[in-house]
Amino acid sequence: MTNETEEPTVESIERRKVTWQSEIARLDHTWQTEISRLEKSAEAHYSMDEKMHHETNIHMATMIEKLGTIEEVVLAWNNIKGFTTVMHSIAGVLKWAVGIGAAIGTIWWSIKGGGLK
């Protein structure tokens, strides 16, 4: 390069022009390469998202097939709840019957003169 105090000559101006043109070309190439790399990366990322989305849809469809429809699942749950409610009711009646039986037995024992002799 030339010194700032020197007067520019045609040759120095041409050298600077060539230097700047080559620098611009280098930067342009760098930017084009980086843009291309980013575009390919974005395409790969988009492709991966699409693949994952597709696999998720297949997985959900498989799960729905295995579980059946929502109505079937709710019906099965209600049947389970109904069964446990009936079982709790029967257990309650049996506890009540045992309590009544124990009370009657205690009264009967007292009337018959039960106890230790």
* 74 and 95 inside one domain: yes
* 27 and 63 inside one domain: yes
Domain of residue 99 covers: 69-117
The sign of the dihedral angle between the CA atoms of 57, 59, 65, 67 is negative
pTM for this entry:
0.34
Convert the pLDDT of each residue in 28-72 to its tens digit: 888 888 888 888 887 777 777 777 777 777 777 777 676 666 677
Convert the pLDDT of each residue in 10-30 to its tens digit: 888 888 888 898 888 888 888
Pick from 84, 63, 59: which is nearest to 73 by CA? 63
* 41 and 76 inside one domain: no
Burial 60-83 (b: 16+ CB within 10 A, else e): eeeeeeeeeeeeeeeeeeeeeeee
Domain count of the fold of the chain: 2
* 93 and 63 inside one domain: no
- Whether 2 shows a pLDDT value over 70: the answer reads no
Convert the pLDDT of each residue in 76-98 to its tens digit: 777 777 777 778 888 888 888 88
- Which of 67, 83, 104 finishes a domain? 67
Q: What angle do CA 44, 48, 53 make, to 5 degrees?
A: 150
